[in-house]
Amino acid sequence: MIPSEIIKQKRNGNEISHAQIKDFINGYLSEEIPEYQMSALLMAIFFNGMTESEISALVDVMLNSGERMDFTHHSNYVADKHSTGGVGDKVSIILGPLLAAAGIAIPMLSGRSLGHTGGTLDKLETIPGFKVNINLDDFRKQVDSIGIAMIGQTEDICPADRRMYALRDVTGTIESIPLISGSIMSKKIAEGISGLVLDIKTGNGAFMKNIDDAHILGDTLTKIGNAFNINTDVVYTSMNQPLGKTAGLWCEVRESIDGLKGNGPDDTMQVTFELGAKLILQAGLSKTQSEAIALQNELISNGKAYEKFIEMVEYQGGNPQDIENYNQLHQPKLSKSLKSEESGYIQSMDTYKIGLATIELGCGRKKTTDMVDPTAGIQFYKKIGDKVNRDDTLLKFFNSNNSKLVPAEVLLKESIQIGGKKVEHKLFLD
C-alpha cells in the first residue's frame, strides 16, 4: 500500500476500496501513516464525498479498530442518543441519567468539543475527579449495575474515531457527511445497543446548515443503524440559536443539573423529552408520546433522574458533594457583559460565531494539545424573538484568562442582530 496513491485516488474523485480504507486507517493507528497523510485523505474525502459502499467500509473499519460491547445478557432495553453537534447542547447530560432512571440501559460513548461545537466529554470532565476513560470491563460492570456510564473513545473502543476525531477538529474536515457518519455510527454500533435516537442539528450553528443536507445525513445514519439491527429514530432540531441559556463547560453542567432538578430551560427540556420519548416508545415502557413525556416529567419531579446522575458521578470518580454545591465550583475570574445598543427584538443569532467565541474563551481547542478552561462560557439573557431595550444585557461571557476574553468579545459583538419585528424561532424541524 502506498498511502499517497490512495490519497490521489480519492483526491481525483475515484472510489477507494474497503481494503484500501482498512490499510490506510490501520496504518494510521500503528503510526506507519503520519498525521499529515491522514489529514490529506480527510480533506480529499471532505471535498469529494464517499459512495454508499465507501461509507459502509469506513464504518466497518472504524468500528473494528477496537472492541465491540455486548449487552445481550442485559434484561433492560439497551439504547443511546447522539447529537450531530451544536452550541449549548447539553441534552446528553440530562437525558442519559433520565433514561437510565426510566429503566433503559445507556452505555454512552461521547466526543470532545468538535470545531465550534461543545463536547459532552469536556463538559463532564469539569466535574472534579470524573473519569471518562475507564476500561471496558469497568464500563460494562457500571452499565450492568447502575444502568449508565458515559465515557469517550479509548485505545480499546473506537480508537480510530478517537484519533481521527481529534485530527478533524483542527484540520477543517468536520462538516462531511461520510466522516460524520463513520464517526457517530462506529461509536454507536460499538456500544452494543439495540436502540438509538439521533438529534440532527440544523442551522447556522450546526454542521448541516440546511434541512436538505440534514435529511441526507439523517437518512445515511438511519440506513447504517438499520443495517446493524439498531432501531434508529431521527429528530431534526434547530441550531439557529444556542440551546438553553448557557454555552461552555462547567456552566453547561450546572444548567444540566438544573434540568435534572426540574429547573431546566424550556427549549433544552423540550428537546430532551422529545428524544427521550423516542427511546421510551422503542423500549415499550410507554404506549404513547404523551405518556412517555409524562414519565420523564415524573422521573424529574420525584428526584430519580437526579439521583441517577449522582450515582453515575460517584461511580466515575466524582464527589456528590461537589454536585450538591454546584454553584460554588469553577467560579470564573473574569466576566464581561454585552449590552444592547438599540431597542427592538432579537432577529437572529449567528450561532457559528458564538461557538467560535466559546473556543476563544477556552472551551475548545485550536490545536490538539490545547487545554480547556472549565470556568469558560457564555450566559444568554435574550434569545430570538425576545424584546430588548437599549442597554439591556444580551449575554455575559466569562473565563479565567483575560487575553482570551478580548477575541471572544469581538465575535460576540457581531453575533446578535436586533430589528423592529417580533420573529418566531422554530425548535423542531421536519
**Catalytic residue set:** 82, 161, 168, 183, 187
- Least separation in angstroms between CB 241 and ligand URA: 19
- Least separation in angstroms between CB 182 and ligand URA: 8
Q: Which residue has the cell 416529567?
A: 297
- Least separation in angstroms between CB 232 and ligand URA: 15
Burial classification of residue 348, based on how many CB atoms lie within 10 Å of its CB (0-12 exposed, 13-18 middle, 19 or more buried) = middle
Beta bridge partners of 151: 109
Is residue 113 involved in binding ligand URA (CB under 6 A)?
Answer: no
**CA 123 – CA 328 distance, rounded (Å):** 16
Is residue 65 involved in binding ligand URA (CB under 6 A)?
Answer: no
Is residue 405 involved in binding ligand URA (CB under 6 A)?
Answer: no
Distance of CA 48 to the CA centre of its chain: 25
Under rule CB under 6 A, how many of the chain's residues touch ligand URA?
7
**Which of 76/92 has CB closer to ligand URA?**
92
Nearest in space to 268 (alpha carbons), one of 260, 118, 234? 260
**CA 407 – CA 410 distance, rounded (Å):** 5
**Which of 121/395 has CB closer to ligand URA?**
121
Is residue 84 involved in binding ligand URA (CB under 6 A)?
Answer: yes
Please give the grid coordinates belonging to residue 368: 490538539
Amino acid letter, 297: N
Residue 395: helix, strand or coil by DSSP? strand
Is residue 153 involved in binding ligand URA (CB under 6 A)?
Answer: no
Cβ atoms of residues 76 and 147 within 8 Å = yes
- Least separation in angstroms between CB 329 and ligand URA: 27
Among 114, 121, 234, 405, binds ligand URA (CB under 6 A): 114
Positive/negative CA dihedral, 358, 362, 366, 371: negative
**Which of 29/180 has CB closer to ligand URA?**
180
**CA 61 – CA 56 distance, rounded (Å):** 9
**CA 279 – CA 105 distance, rounded (Å):** 11
**Which of 111/276 has CB closer to ligand URA?**
111
Q: Which residue is nearest to ligand URA (CB)?
A: 183
Among 111, 178, 264, 318, binds ligand URA (CB under 6 A): 111
- Least separation in angstroms between CB 424 and ligand URA: 28
Among 29, 38, 62, 85, binds ligand URA (CB under 6 A): 85
Measured at the CA of 342, the angle between CA 88 and CA 89, to 5 degrees, comes to 5
Site for ligand URA in 167-226 (CB under 6 A): 180, 183-184
List residues binding ligand URA (CB under 6 A): 84-85, 111, 114, 180, 183-184
